[in-house]
Amino acid sequence: MRLHFLVAMLAAGLIAQTQTMTVANLMDWLRNPATAQESDAALARFLYRVKLADRLDDGALEVLRTQVLLGPKTMDALRKLRDQSRSLPKPAPPVPQAAPKLPPNAEEQAAILDDVRRYALDYSQKLPDFVCLEMERRSLADPPRAGRGGTVSEPEWRQVDTITKRVSYFEQKEDEKVLEHNHAYTTQDMKSLGGTQSWGDFGSMMRQVFEPATAALFEWAGWFRLGGQLVMGFDFSVPLERSKYRLEVDNRSIISAYRGRVNVDPQTHAILRVKVEAVNIPPDFPLRSASDTLYYENQTISGLPFLLPSQVEVRMGTGSYLSRNVKVFQAYRKYTADSSISFDDVPAAPPPGDKAKEIAEPGQPAR
């Protein structure tokens, strides 16, 4: 009730008196979706009236920068609170966030999905102009075979090549240029390099899932952990007649029905992960399976955090082989007419890890 009271008080403009808050209260309040609807100036005015009960350090500020979209005036007010609280005791260690045993009720789920839909449809329009590096590893594997007891082992992936691209996003248009192939400079484009390829990493996939014409069917999937963070999961399905999920092989293309899951931040209702999987692929089409998984993390551009693609994994399978493309996006920065990226300060793209792996939270009722 404390947080809801503070939000209501801010919305009404009743900020004449100093408010005492702990750092934990402050961080929860700034993560609240209702708080996010306030203007940068209104948030800053409120924060200048806040008195902290414990110390706000640089680590907590960095956590906020990576979790919440905060304007420059709000950040200035938070830095002032940090400086004013240097002599205060450290805050108590946070209690690990536990998943509720029950899902949100039907009314709450509908409200959450309305928020998520607005986020998805507005996502591309709110992105800044930027440039970044995309490092892609492409691998092949033999189809896994069932062992004793019907268990199927993980594919044994063999790396085929690596591709480094400069990706720019300017006036809501995405453009890419191949810089290196297998760590050597090249003037080839992606089409001439051949192999498995994918498009739509910067918002188009989530928009297609949530746009009204798609009319995707959603249902609660449960509570999950994503990179250690507690997230919501919603499953969805889209029939063929409303799908735009295109598969192309050897100059042949089809539109496929698909299903998937979206993982959502329970506080901000921002999309953190989307997985799409083709279903009912025609038997005469060369592909037997296809899936795309996009994982989003906060990236800092011009001193402000934005949720942007961090990793994309594309898997496809025929009757004779499997393919996997893993893209890692790094070195985000503001786009300018003469934007350039140096490889000197960019670390090598990490191998596919578990940070984008979804883990079901235990103790939930069976679906």
CB 270 within 8 A of CB 119: yes
Report the pLDDT value the prediction gives residue 9, as an integer from 0 to 100: 41
**pLDDT tens-digit readout, 314-323:** 999 988 889 9
Helix/strand/coil percent split, the chain, to 5: 25, 35, 40
Separation between Cα atoms, residue 72 and residue 82, nearest integer Å: 15
**pLDDT tens-digit readout, 222-262:** 999 887 788 999 999 999 999 999 888 878 889 999 999 99
CB 205 within 8 A of CB 276: yes
How far is C-alpha 121 from the chain's CA centre?
Answer: 14
CB 29 within 8 A of CB 7: yes
CB 240 within 8 A of CB 259: no
Burial 163-179 (b: 16+ CB within 10 A, else e): bbbbbbbeeeebeeebb
- At residue 294 the predicted structure's pLDDT band, cuts being 50, 70 and 90, is very high
Average pLDDT value over all residues in the chain: 81
* Token pair 């930027």 in the structure block, residue: 130
* pLDDT over 60 at 362, yes or no: yes
**Interval 88-110 mean pLDDT:** 79
Report the pLDDT value the prediction gives residue 340, as an integer from 0 to 100: 60
Report the pLDDT value the prediction gives residue 223, as an integer from 0 to 100: 93
Q: What whole-number percentage of the chain has pLDDT above 90? A: 32
Residue 273: how many other CB atoms lie within 10 Å? 22
**pLDDT tens-digit readout, 215-228:** 999 999 999 988 77
Torsion sign over Cα 129, 134, 140, 141: negative
* pLDDT over 80 at 41, yes or no: yes
Q: Name the most confidently modeled range: 114-123, 184-193, 301-310.
A: 114-123
Q: Where are the alpha helices (DSSP H) in 100-188?
A: 106-126
Name the helix (H) or strand (E) containing 292.
strand 289-301
Considering the entire predicted model, what is its pTM? Answer: 0.71
* pLDDT over 70 at 276, yes or no: yes
Q: What whole-number percentage of the chain has pLDDT above 70? A: 79
Separation between Cα atoms, residue 252 and residue 269, nearest integer Å: 38
Separation between Cα atoms, residue 51 and residue 81, nearest integer Å: 8
- At residue 15 the predicted structure's pLDDT band, cuts being 50, 70 and 90, is very low
Q: Which long-range contacts (C-beta less than 8 Å, at least 24 apart) are formed by 309-312?
A: 309/201, 309/202, 310/355, 310/356, 311/352, 311/355, 311/356, 312/198, 312/201
**pLDDT tens-digit readout, 325-340:** 999 888 888 887 665 6
